[in-house]
Amino acid sequence: MTIDQTQRFQHYLALIELPYDEAVAQLRARHGLVKDDYFVQASYEQFLAGKVLRLQRGNYSRTRDGLCTHHVAENQFSNMSDAVTIKQNQYPFTYQRSKYLVYADEVEHLILHALIAAETGGQFGYHGYREYLSKDVWAWYVDSKIPQKNWRHRCYGASLLSKSEALTIFEHLNAGPLATINKS
């Protein structure tokens, strides 16, 4: 294990112990501010009004660096990047603005969703944790199923863990933020 990998693992363990807002602040300091809104505002407003069928994304992506983009307000709203959910719930554009987004690698994203789930009693965050993020992290690092798509492979490399480290992360999440959620 390299020093960088050891530091990354320790960073993940420390992140698990933080309140959600502090974890978000730490990730902003670590990865920088998101450079654009998630969706183009005009497209978003036209979509909500039923004038266009598709949402146009902003120029925020950093998957080339192995980072995904997390909606900070997912502690108040579910599935904020999904067009069907946006349309059904008429989410305000405000929460798609860059100041309500944060960059995270895949494991950091997993941790953010666990922290949201803990702070909202499972009302928010847990679905994304259980159905998407935990499955990816488990497949990649526990089952050694390395993703083949270029951008997914970069995400895999940016949050690289050994199998024992990944299992330790899951143990800490289950004993910490998810302890009360997993009992229900």
- The residue extents of the domains of the chain are 3-183
Find, among 22, 2, 32, the residue nearest to 111 by Cα: 22
Q: How many degrees, rounded to 5, is the angle at CA 118 between CA 19 and CA 89?
A: 105
**The predicted structure's pLDDT at residue 6:** 86
Q: What is the pTM of this model?
A: 0.95
CA distances from 46 to 23, 36, 50, 52, 101 (A): 34, 19, 6, 6, 22
**What's phi and psi for 38, nearest 5 deg?**
-65, -45
**The predicted structure's pLDDT at residue 183:** 64
> Over the chain (184 residues), what is each successive 10-residue block's mean pLDDT?
80 98 98 98 97 96 96 97 96 98 98 98 95 97 95 95 97 95 71
- 2 CB contacts (<8 Å, ≥6 apart)? none
DSSP class of 172: H
**The predicted structure's pLDDT at residue 153:** 95
